[in-house]
Amino acid sequence: MEHPQVHVTRSFAPRLRASWRRSERYGVPEDEVLPVFSGAVDTGSLLYECGTEVLRGLQTTLANEPISLMITDSEGLVLNRLCTDVSMTRSLDKVYLAPGFYYAESNAGTNGLGLALADRAPSLVRAGEHYCTDLRGYTCAAVPVLDPLTGTLAGSVNLTTWSEQSSELLLALAQAAAGNTAALMLARASGRIARPTPRGEVFRVYADRVDPGTLPRLSPAWTTALAETRAALAGGRVVAVVGEPGAGKTALASLAHRAVRPRDRVLNARPPAPDDVDTWLTLWTPELTKDDTCVIVSGVDALPAWAAGELARLFAEARAAGGLVPFVLTAEDAGALPAALSPLVDRVVEVPALRFRPDDVLPLAHHFARRDRGRDVTFTSAASRALMAYDWPENAKQLRRVMREAAARSDVVDTQHLPAEVFTGVGHRLSRLQALERDEIVRCLSEPGTTVVHAAARLGMGRATLYRKMAQYGLNARQLKS
């Protein structure tokens, strides 16, 4: 006999059906809401500050409307709730939709803010679309808020009203509030440039870019991870390659697969924006049925939950078809693998960050510079010391960018050809003005024959002031000299 919910969800959109199935797997009660209570809310976060300010402004335009406005963190914890309607406030208190309570799908089943966080997409859940019967008197519109500096999920904006109320404008209002919150966060976060949104690129990894014959000899930390991945793929196992952003996960997976099946095509599918998931899936999933193609799905930890579930189904079908497994996954760490995809993974291989592989910095620098310059590039001893001393927080991706800029300027790379970021040991973000000041100090100090006294005079500041600012920015004068 079919579960009663099967009949209900058949008429739902795919995202809602997937959410109901997840709610059932979580074991969420159907007849009552029992969310986890935190007892503590971080009221000092940038999200709380900016989100509350934006919602207060919106509330003034909705003064006579029975609408509750909320801000949550990325885990579904309600941080703040604004509502002038007494009956609405009392009703929401009865279902614990209040500050201090978690309202993620795993806590409250399908609901607006839980769905928005799971899928990282704007979501509207009306009346009977809620999983729990206690919530079917409401309509909820929620939109995720992304951190404008890192691109990570910061939380959500949620607007809730009675189910009999018109919901046509509810989602639009929530989208505007989420956008304004992210914009205000950016404006108050040292004026840094926002990270681009994901575009869901799908591209071929060409052999000449990862040919083992063109790569330098790297450290045992890299070669061991490569050997583990190669052995797992040769055995027909599904591999998840994990590590920090920019550490070279996709490159390692491609190298490993080519070592096993050198004639195969290798495609890399990067996570898309939430609104583009359907198109993204349609673009590359037919490749899973081809014997001569391997797909590397990068950043699966950034996928909406429903997209991860769809991928799990497609991957399971491809695996059941026999032969070598035609895909590899990458993520920042094993714990971040989506619940739907994690059971498919047979082996997890970690790529160490570049700061843990200092012996790889110079070989990779030479490799990247030669690839861009078209011929060998040499480094002065001062430039080599600077490259080796830097922590490379963005890993090989950052080194690749730095070498592209340096190699474009000279066949012999010296400190003046390197960006100021390489000489900075400061552990916090700099404002735009601070970054400009740091860059000018580095430019002056790196000029041949320039002493600290000369640089101070050119910069129009005293020597003591220059030393203080060098310490502030973590600059080492000896690294800047040949």
Structural fold of domain 4-187: Beta-Lactamase (3.30.450)
Burial 367-385 (b: 16+ CB within 10 A, else e): bbbbbebeeebebbebbbb
Structural fold of domain 202-352: Rossmann fold (3.40.50)
Q: Do domains 4-187 and 202-352 have the same CATH topology?
A: no
What are the pLDDT digits (tens) for 285-340?
A: 888 888 888 899 999 999 999 999 999 998 888 777 776 667 899 999 998 999 99
89 contacts 83 by C-beta, under 8 angstroms = yes
DSSP secondary structure string for all residues of 84-101: --HHHHHHHHHTT-STTB
What is the predicted pLDDT for the residue at 102? 94
Least confident of 8-17, 203-212, 233-242, 357-366: 203-212
- pLDDT above 50 for 368: yes
C-alpha 149 chain-centroid distance = 10
What phi and psi, each to the nearest 5 degrees, are found at residue 237?
-95, 155
CATH class of 356-480: mainly alpha
How far is 85 from 64, CA to CA, in rounded Å? 8
- pLDDT above 80 for 480: no
Cα-based distances in Å from 431 to 190, 425, 435, 475: 5, 15, 6, 17
What are the pLDDT digits (tens) for 96-152?
A: 999 999 999 999 999 999 999 999 999 999 999 999 999 999 999 999 999 988 888
What are the pLDDT digits (tens) for 181-200?
A: 999 999 888 655 556 666 67
60 contacts 177 by C-beta, under 8 angstroms = no
Domain boundaries, the chain: 4-187, 202-352, 356-480
At 6, the pLDDT band (50, 70, 90 cuts) reads very low
pTM: 0.75
Percent share of the chain, pLDDT over 70: 90
At 1, the pLDDT band (50, 70, 90 cuts) reads very low
